[in-house]
């Protein structure tokens, strides 16, 4: 019997044959994939011919083709539809992948070939793309330890392997905590909850084969519960569970894992000749140094904290009026902020939500992409990995461009949050190969037969992740190394955050924000109030994010702390974090930073990219047309289609002609520079 993961995929657009793949297929497929990749890499390293770009760099780009194919399916399923079998295999594979990567990057014959090419790059008559790919490969080998002494290479390999094991354990502990906790609501607990939240809580109970209504640790459920439940005791109970993920003291506690990760990251940086891990991580990024990243965050922190402190005084007075003589707490903020929004803007989530149907917001994102970049979307009837997932063929000028998969609804088998990933990158190395890209979200599920409704923040998330998807699908490069989102971490959020702006274009909302029951467009007066309230509670939102980013930088810019939680408390105390605002991601559940290396020392990236996205959208505002054709074409050419063809700052300069300052960001968030409270 053949293994479908190892076969050629004779499916539409070479999609994975999800209806044939079983959990049992992955272990043997990975065994073959590792063997083929090792054989290919050894053949490159030991080739008797002198190194050329084709026989070394292009050969490396092809060496892990089967591995990429199998891993693309596996890791997407682990995140979006996990099972105990897949999670057990993930724990086994983590150190194997780390060992394989170290073995490859520290292969001295292989590095010598890459190094020889790099030293002769001016004489090789390379294209711009080839020169960039060669530079990135050389940088990758050096940053992986290829030039270290044998003893240091051996130690670095052990460190890397252990970090992979710890990152997997961190993420699986977090998933277990999120999956295992529910708050069952008795009939009396439902008072004050809007219908959309009751529907979602009932659907969450149904998904777990429970009766009645439950609140889970999915953000799409717990945030509206904190906004609307008048039961302060239940809000506190739910909030404490939410912020205790990964810190429960049992088998899923991440405290010791975090401590060891920080120690090993520091050792890794020292082995590679860097003062600290943050300096190592930021060297190839736009920010270049931790100090530059911190300067940006502090420029925003001061006015944001001042605004948050003013807001806290207002909310605490509202509590007093309700007869609660206690300090404003974290489980109070959203509840009283929602009341304040209703009072000041005549706006509440229950009134808004019927206008934000999931299917309509998908259509809105597709339409904006069509008007900007000329891409069209055709639904596909193909087997996918879960019944919730949907697929579309993406075409441009009548030609196939990519396949887009959307998986939007929360379920117990899916990790929390929202993300974009891919089953296959775009490249032209082996002929024109379009990307297969997936957006995964955790929006609350409506009862069977009813439309799924989003909050306005959910709609922003949908546009954000679709911005990432467009970055992947519009990619137009030859080499996988620089395809799509393979750019500097503090640049990768630019396309996603920029695309969010089109959600707030009035003509888009007037066309797609249609009431779920009546089909009528959002009334002009309500739309005006919605857009006027965009910066409502920005002090809170900015402070909770920036606190997390500053803790991340501080952890990695100094000696590893013996007690990370004590160090976190000290950092927040030094910053003067308002008492009623928690970090958006506290250390034990800070998956961006501790489930892998992706955003470690890099959570600041969202803010760094926001400086650019605010300035970039201002170009369309200056043109007087949010879909200005000439600007959109330049945006596609220089950023969305360009992948990692050049350094990030050069890509932005190619679009805007200059680098931005922080002013557009502060204006966009409704904050005033220089206010430090």
Tell me: do 136 and 185 sit in the same domain.
no
d(CA 352, CA 514) in angstroms, rounded, equals: 10
Residue 113: inside a domain:
yes
Compute the average pLDDT of residues 588-609.
94
Instruction: Report if residue 433 sits inside a domain.
Output: yes
Determine the average pLDDT of the residues in 571-590.
Answer: 96
Counted domains in the chain? 3
N-term to C-term CA, the chain: 69
Same domain, 84 and 189: no
CB atoms within 10 A of CB 38: 16
Inside any domain, residue 235: yes
Q: Which of 460, 503, 467 is nearest to 485 (CA)?
A: 467
Does residue 523 lie in a domain region?
yes
Q: How confident is the model at residue 667 (pLDDT cuts 50, 70, 90)?
A: confident
**Tens of pLDDT, residues 75-133:** 999 999 999 999 999 999 999 999 999 999 999 999 999 999 999 999 999 999 999 99
Q: Which of 243, 271, 287 is the last residue of a domain?
A: 243
Does 386 fall in a domain? yes
**C-alpha distances in Å from residue 50, one per residue of 59, 64, 110, 131:** 14, 22, 12, 18
3-state secondary structure of 376: strand
Whether residues 521 and 631 share a domain: the answer is: yes
**Average pLDDT over every residue of 36-55:** 97
127-159 residue pLDDT tens:
999 999 999 999 999 999 999 999 999 999 999
* Same domain for 489 and 623: yes
Q: Indicate the residue among 243, 259, 275 that finishes a domain.
A: 243
Task: Say whether both 75 and 128 belong to one domain.
Answer: yes
Residue 662 reports pLDDT greater than 90: no
Indicate if 498 and 405 belong to the same structural domain. Answer: yes
What is the mean pLDDT of the segment spanning 210-220?
A: 93
pLDDT value at position 433? Answer: 83
**516 SS3 class:** coil
**Rg for the chain (alpha carbons), in Å?**
25
CA distances to 41, 99, 110, 415, 643 from 104, in Å: 7, 9, 8, 31, 24
Q: Is 362 helix (H, G, I), strand (E, B) or coil?
A: helix
- State the DSSP code for 440: E
Clarify whether residues 498 and 418 are in a common domain.
yes
* Alpha carbon distance 663, 621 (integer Å): 16
Confidence class for position 672, pLDDT limits 50, 70, 90: low
DSSP string, 312-333: HHHHHHHHHHTT--S---HHHH
Concatenate the DSSP letters of all residues of 379-437 into one string. EE----SSTT-EEEEEEETTEEEEEEEEEEE--TTS-SS-EEEEEE--BSBTB-B-EEE
Mean pLDDT of the chain: 95
Once rounded to an integer, what is the mean pLDDT over residues 398-406? Answer: 97
- Report pLDDT for 673: 52
Identify the domain boundary among 121, 147, 173.
Answer: 147
Q: Tell me: pLDDT of 451 over 60.
A: yes
Pair type for strands 399-409 and 435-443: parallel
Q: Are residues 491 and 637 in the same domain?
A: yes
What region, left, alpha or beta, does residue 630 occupy, with left being phi > 0 and alpha being psi -120 to 50 degrees?
Answer: alpha
How far apart are alpha carbons 523 and 530 in whole angstroms? 10
- pLDDT-derived band at 674 (thresholds 50, 70, 90) equals very low
Distance in angstroms (rounded) separating the CA atoms of residues 176 and 244: 12
Claim to verify: residue 508 and residue 416 sit in the same structural domain: yes
Q: Taking a C-beta distance cutoff of 8 angstroms, is the pair 253, 588 a contact?
A: yes
Can you tell me the distance from the alpha carbon of 227 to that of 334, in angstroms, rounded to the nearest whole number? Answer: 5
Q: Are residues 427 and 512 in the same domain?
A: yes
Torsion, CA 114, CA 116, CA 121, CA 127, rounded to 10: -40
| Alpha carbon distance 75, 78 (integer Å) | 5
Mapped onto helix, strand or coil, the DSSP state of residue 113 is: helix
pLDDT value, residue 349: 82
Average pLDDT over residues 631-660: 96
pLDDT of residue 676: 43
Domain holding 505: CATH number? 1.10.1370.40
CB 40 within 8 A of CB 59: yes
**DSSP H or E stretch at residue 377:** strand 375-380
**pLDDT value at position 649?**
93
Average pLDDT (341-350) is 89
**Ramachandran area for residue 347 (φ above 0: left; ψ -120 to 50: alpha; else beta):** beta
Q: Is residue 264 part of a domain?
A: no
What integer is the mean pLDDT of 401-425? 95
Model pLDDT, residue 383: 97
Residue 541 predicted with pLDDT over 50: yes
Please give the average per-residue pLDDT across 636-655, as a whole number.
96
pLDDT at 596 over 50: yes
311 domain residue, yes or no: no
CATH code for the domain of 29: 1.20.1050.40
Annotated catalytic sites, by residue?
465
Same domain, 85 and 191: no
* 90 DSSP 8-state letter: H
Residues 358 and 473 in one domain: yes
* Angle in degrees, 0-180, between the axes of helices 150-180 and 84-105, rounded to the nearest 10: 160
Domain that holds residue 215: 181-243
**pLDDT at residue 675, rounded to an integer:** 44
CA 155 to CA 151: how far, in whole Å? 6
- Flag whether 564 is in a domain: no
């Amino acid at each position: 019997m053949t293994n479908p993961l190892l076969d050629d995929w004779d499916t539409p657009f070479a999609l994975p044959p999800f209806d044939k793949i079983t959990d049992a297929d992955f272990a043997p497929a990975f065994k073959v994939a590792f063997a083929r990749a090792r054989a290919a890499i050894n053949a490159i390293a030991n080739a008797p011919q002198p190194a050329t770009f084709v026989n070394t760099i292009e050969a490396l780009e092809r060496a892990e083709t089967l591995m990429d194919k199998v891993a693309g399916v596996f890791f997407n399923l682990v995140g979006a539809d996990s099972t105990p079998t897949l999670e057990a295999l993930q724990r086994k594979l983590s150190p194997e992948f780390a060992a394989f990567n170290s073995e490859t990057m520290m292969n001295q014959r292989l590095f010598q070939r890459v190094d020889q090419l790099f030293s002769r790059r001016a004489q090789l008559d390379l294209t711009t793309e080839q020169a960039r790919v060669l530079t990135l490969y050389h940088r990758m080998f050096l940053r992986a330890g290829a030039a270290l002494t044998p003893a240091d290479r051996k130690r670095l390999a052990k460190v890397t392997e252990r970090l992979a094991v710890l990152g997997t354990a961190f993420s699986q502990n977090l998933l277990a905590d999120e999956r295992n906790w529910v708050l069952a609501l008795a009939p009396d607990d439902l008072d004050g909850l809007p219908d959309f939240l009751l529907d979602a809580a009932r659907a969450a109970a149904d998904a777990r084969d429970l009766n009645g209504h439950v609140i889970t640790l999915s953000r799409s459920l717990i945030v509206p519960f904190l906004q609307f439940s008048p039961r302060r005791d239940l809000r506190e109970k739910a909030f404490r569970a939410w912020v205790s993920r990964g810190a429960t003291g049992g088998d899923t506690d991440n405290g010791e894992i975090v401590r060891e990760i920080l120690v090993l990251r520091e050792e890794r940086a020292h082995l590679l000749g860097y003062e600290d891990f943050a300096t190592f991580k930021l060297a190839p990024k736009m920010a270049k140094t931790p100090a530059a990243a911190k300067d940006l965050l502090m420029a925003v922190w001061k006015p944001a904290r001042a605004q948050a402190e003013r807001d806290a005084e207002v909310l605490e007075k509202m509590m007093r009026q309700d007869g609660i003589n206690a300090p404003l707490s974290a489980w109070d903020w959203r509840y009283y902020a929602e009341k304040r929004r209703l009072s000041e803007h005549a706006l509440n989530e229950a009134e808004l939500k019927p206008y934000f149907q999931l299917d309509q917001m998908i259509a809105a994102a597709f339409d904006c992409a069509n008007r900007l970049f000329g891409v069209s979307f055709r639904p596909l009837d193909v087997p996918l990995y879960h019944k919730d997932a949907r697929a579309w063929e993406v075409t441009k000028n009548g030609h196939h461009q990519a396949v887009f998969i959307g998986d939007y609804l929360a379920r117990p088998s899916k990790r929390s949050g929202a993300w974009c990933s891919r089953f296959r990158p775009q490249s032209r190395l082996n002929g024109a190969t379009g990307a297969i890209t997936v957006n995964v979200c955790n929006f609350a599920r409506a009862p069977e037969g009813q439309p799924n409704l989003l909050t306005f923040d959910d709609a922003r998330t949908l546009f954000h992740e679709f911005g990432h998807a467009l970055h992947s699908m519009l990619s137009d490069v030859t080499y996988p190394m620089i395809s799509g989102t393979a750019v500097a971490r503090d640049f990768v959020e630019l396309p996603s955050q920029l695309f969010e702006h089109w959600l707030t274009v009035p003509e888009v909302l007037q066309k797609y924000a249609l009431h779920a029951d009546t089909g009528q467009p959002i009334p002009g007066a309500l739309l005006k109030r919605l857009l006027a309230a965009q910066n409502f509670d920005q002090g809170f939102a900015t402070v909770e994010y920036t606190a997390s980013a500053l803790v991340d930088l501080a952890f990695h810019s100094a000696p590893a702390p013996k007690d990370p939680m004590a160090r976190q408390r000290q950092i927040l105390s030094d910053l003067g974090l308002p008492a009623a605002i928690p970090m958006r991601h506290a250390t034990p559940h800070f998956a961006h930073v501790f489930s892998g290396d992706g955003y470690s020392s890099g959570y600041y990236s969202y803010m760094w990219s926001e400086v650019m996205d605010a300035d970039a959208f201002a170009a369309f505002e200056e043109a007087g047309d949010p879909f200005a054709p000439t600007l959109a074409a330049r945006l596609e050419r220089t950023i969305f289609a360009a992948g990692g063809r050049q350094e990030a700052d050069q890509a932005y300069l190619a679009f805007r002609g200059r680098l931005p300052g922080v002013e557009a960001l502060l204006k966009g968030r409704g904050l005033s520079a220089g206010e430090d409270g």
